[in-house]
Amino acid sequence: MIHETKTQQAAVQRRLRSALAGVRGAIRLQAPLKEYTSFRIGGPADVVVEPADVDDVAHLIRQTVRHKLPLFVLGGTNLLVRDKGIRGVVVSLANLRAIKEEPGAVLYAEGGVGMPTLIGHAIRRSLAGLEWAAGIPGTVAGCVVMNAGTRLGEMKDSVKAIRMALPNGTVMDYPAESIEFGYRRASLPRGIVVGVWLQLKSGLRADIEKTVKDYLRYRRDTQPLSLPSAGCVFKNPQNDSAGRVVEAAGLKGVSVGDAVVSTKHANFIVNQGQATANDVLSLIRKVRTQVARKTGIKLELELKLVGQA
């Protein structure tokens, strides 16, 4: 059995080497995913690739299909990666960071641009429309995929079109009207979002900056931002807030290992140091069970659980 596993592993390594031929970006084998996630949790990926540019992404996705290797793209801020990590190729768009301005208050951002960077750019160009997203740490692509949102707005309010690298290695653009957005989801073709057009509007720089600063202060006051987390753990139940429900069940401060339900915001689980994915999962089970017992509400996960147990 052990022999078979080793043989299988060797076959995967061979397929990986073939699939990665011709990739121009950085390649890191056996990369600890805790270094790529805001939770600072996660076992190793067989390989993390940071493609050099959009063409490199397209080449990589076609190669992984050809060599039948699983592929996962991350920004890393809404993920709980299990302790045995992710098999196959993990892609980070860390090198896709260009922002271009187009006529009519439109910004084009490559997929790896972080929301904080994009908001900073919009402020400098006096472009309004993204203030609601101040404090969301994900990439612009990840925010489209998740239709990230706050009580002030959602990604779908600003997306004009997206650019995707498809499994056959082509790059295609899709208008926002062809995408169905829902609560923390978007129906997209299979592939990798490599760019996003955002329709913003001209505004007054001082006003935009003030709204962003006020919102960041509000977040600092109400969210545990000094400890690693993946943001909100649960989706809000209809007409209620998951944080309120968890707090009302008396679960603030409850812990498993170094994973703790934040005492500042009950819908955050924070990593106080060496929390594992198993610790977080046990804590999630505990919270769900007790909330269901006390209120009848079945909390659904907002964060994405990925990788091998």
Ligand X SMILES: Cc1cc2nc3c(=O)[nH]c(=O)nc-3n(C[C@H](O)[C@H](O)[C@H](O)COP(=O)(O)OP(=O)(O)OC[C@H]3O[C@@H](n4cnc5c(N)ncnc54)[C@H](O)[C@@H]3O)c2cc1C
Binding site for ligand X (CB under 6 A): 38, 72-79, 93, 111, 136-139, 141-143, 145-146, 148-150, 192-193, 225, 229-231, 304
Q: How far is the CB of 199 from ligand X (least distance, A)?
A: 19
135 vs 203, which CB is nearer to ligand X?
A: 135
Which is closer to ligand X, CB of 90 or CB of 297? Answer: 90
DSSP label of 110: E
Q: Between 81 and 292, name the residue whose CB sits nearer to ligand X.
A: 81
Angle at 247 between CA 244 and CA 251, to 5 degrees: 150
Q: How far is the CB of 132 from ligand X (least distance, A)?
A: 9
- What is the smallest separation between the CB atom of 306 and ligand X, expressed in angstroms? 7
CB of 154 to ligand X, least distance (A): 8
Look up residue 309 and give its two tokens.
Answer: 């147990």
Reading the block at residue 286, the tokens are 């505990």
Which run of H or of E encompasses 125? none
Q: By beta-carbon distance, which residue lies closest to ligand X? A: 75
Nearer to ligand X, 8 or 218 (CB): 218
Compute the least distance from the CB of residue 137 to ligand X, in Å: 5
CB 114 within 8 A of CB 137: yes
Residues 6+ apart with CB under 8 A from 218: none
CB nearer to ligand X: pick between 19 and 81: 81
- In order, the DSSP letters of 173-230 are EEEGGGSEEETTEEE--SSEEEEEEEE-EE--HHHHHHHHHHHHHHHHHHS-TTS---
State the Cα–Cα distance between residues 171 and 166, nearest whole angstrom. 6
Which is nearer to ligand X, 18 or 216 (by Cβ)? 216
In the complex, least distance from residue 93 CB atom to ligand X, rounded to whole angstroms: 6
> Pick from 248, 246, 249: which is nearest to 234 by CA?
246
